[in-house]
Amino acid sequence: MIQSVVGIDVSKDTLDVVLLKEETNAYASFSNNPVGFGKLARWLISQGAGQVHACLEATGQYGDGVAEYLYQAGHMVSVVNPARIKRYGDSKLHRNKTDKADAALIAEFCRKEHPALWTPLPAYLKQLRQMVRRLEDLQANYQQEHNRLSSGISDTWVVEDITDHLKELSKRIKALQKAIFQVIADTAELKEQFDLLLTIPGIGKLTAARLLAEMGDIACFEDAPQLAAYAGLNPKGFRSGSSVHKKTRISKEGRALLRHILYMPAIVACKHNPIIHTFCDRLAQRGLPKMAIVAAAMRKLLHLVFGILKHKQPFDPNYLLQPSFTS
């Protein structure tokens, strides 16, 4: 029986950890790296904790390392959509916004709600995710250098150095893209899903690869709204009293990288995907602003992605009109 519950508030450099106890909760902070993971494990032992149920938010790649470490050490791990924890905090009138308070809230959520247990990605998905994220880094570096070159630099040496760097980055990007597509081609599960995604108007090869990497195992999601919430694309309404309302927006409480991946494909889909084109036209006729329409198209596109992968059926606008397809 699990005796100890741990909440971990994750940031890029730091892990703020709260261990729930009967009298006074224990708190500590560790570096978000392998050295810090080891110190966390030793701290848990020093606190008399055996096997723990550790809970953290699915806010991006920064929590992957500690989740993997704790899982391999024999602990139970839950990686939870931040929207769920925020709703829990709102219900408890949680107001303190500090790393320690957030870690305590995550731990309390874990003890009360018993979230589903997390398991590491299969090796092939882990490899794909690491390669795709490396590609993101290289493309960001390329854009930074390109911006520098366009900023009015006149020194010949600097211009030549940036130009050479751009050429080298371009070679590395092309080589990595080729390697990514080879990994997909060599893995039956990925190849099947990749080919299905390519049938959706608005999704190209790179977008398909990036989606597969960042969504992970599609079987982990019960329905399309759950996947949308994972990406932070679920609607978020505002209400004050009985009469004051604000415009509904997307929550943005989820994987920002997934939203980034979907942005340009959604714009393309608004023009070339018959289902999303009709959907966007209807929203425009209702007077929604352009960015709200794009956000809604991103969510709709992700619903189509879920339905096509779940049912293992290629894109068919007539079949997809059935409401049950994206559920």
* Percent of the chain at pLDDT exceeding 90: 70
168, 186, 204: which is the final residue of a domain? 186
The answer to whether residue 118 sits within a structural domain is no
Instruction: Report the candidate in 295, 206, 203, 201 with the shortest Cα–Cα distance to residue 248.
Output: 295
Query: Does one domain contain both 67 and 23?
Result: yes
Instruction: Report the candidate in 25, 6, 4 with the shortest Cα–Cα distance to residue 107.
Output: 6
- How confident is the model at residue 320, as a pLDDT? 57
Instruction: Report the candidate in 36, 41, 42 with the shortest Cα–Cα distance to residue 12.
Output: 36
The answer to whether residue 40 sits within a structural domain is yes
More confident call, 88 vs 250: 88
Query: Does one domain contain both 303 and 218?
Result: yes
The answer to whether residue 219 sits within a structural domain is yes
Tokens of 194: 């990749």
For the segment 274-314, what is each residue's pLDDT rounded down to a tens digit? 999 999 999 999 999 999 999 999 999 999 999 999 999 99
pTM for the full predicted model? 0.80
For residue 130, count other CB atoms closer than 10 A to its CB. Answer: 14
Query: Does one domain contain both 104 and 127?
Result: no
Between β-strands 52-57 and 76-80, what pairing exists: parallel, antiparallel or unpaired?
parallel
Query: Does one domain contain both 91 and 152?
Result: no
Query: Does one domain contain both 108 and 136?
Result: no
* Percent of the chain at pLDDT exceeding 70: 89
If one counts the domains in the chain, the total is: 3
Radius of gyration of the chain (CA): 22
Query: Does one domain contain both 322 and 224?
Result: yes
Mean pLDDT score, 55-83: 90
- Positive or negative: CA dihedral 168, 170, 173, 178: negative
More confident call, 56 vs 256: 56
Mean pLDDT score, 249-258: 71
The answer to whether residue 322 sits within a structural domain is yes
The answer to whether residue 195 sits within a structural domain is no
Q: Give the mean pLDDT of the chain.
A: 89
Query: Does one domain contain both 101 and 131?
Result: no
- How confident is the model at residue 254, as a pLDDT? 66
Residue numbers of the domain that contains 276: 213-326
For the segment 95-133, what is each residue's pLDDT rounded down to a tens digit? 667 889 999 999 999 999 999 899 998 999 999 999 999
The answer to whether residue 25 sits within a structural domain is yes
CATH code for position 51:
3.30.420.40
Query: Does one domain contain both 132 and 108?
Result: no
82, 113, 144: which is the final residue of a domain? 113
For the segment 165-207, what is each residue's pLDDT rounded down to a tens digit? 999 999 999 999 999 999 999 999 999 999 999 999 999 999 9
The answer to whether residue 48 sits within a structural domain is yes
Tell me the one-letter amino acid at 217: D
Tokens of 109: 């959520």
131, 151, 186: which is the final residue of a domain? 186
Tokens of 283: 């929203």
Query: Does one domain contain both 149 and 71?
Result: no
Please tell me whether residue 13 adopts helix, strand or coil conformation.
coil
For the chain, first and last CA: distance in Å?
35
Query: Does one domain contain both 45 and 91?
Result: yes
The answer to whether residue 201 sits within a structural domain is no
Report how far residue 306's alpha carbon sits from residue 222's, in angstroms, rounded to the nearest whole number. Answer: 10
* Whether the Cβ atoms of residue 6 and residue 108 lie closer than 8 Å to each other: no
Query: Does one domain contain both 12 and 96?
Result: yes
Query: Does one domain contain both 108 and 134?
Result: no
Report how far residue 70's alpha carbon sits from residue 67's, in angstroms, rounded to the nearest whole number. Answer: 5
For 190-195, the CB contacts below 8 A with 24+ separation are 190/124, 190/125, 190/128, 192/312, 193/218, 193/309
Confidence of residue 50 (pLDDT cuts 50, 70, 90): confident
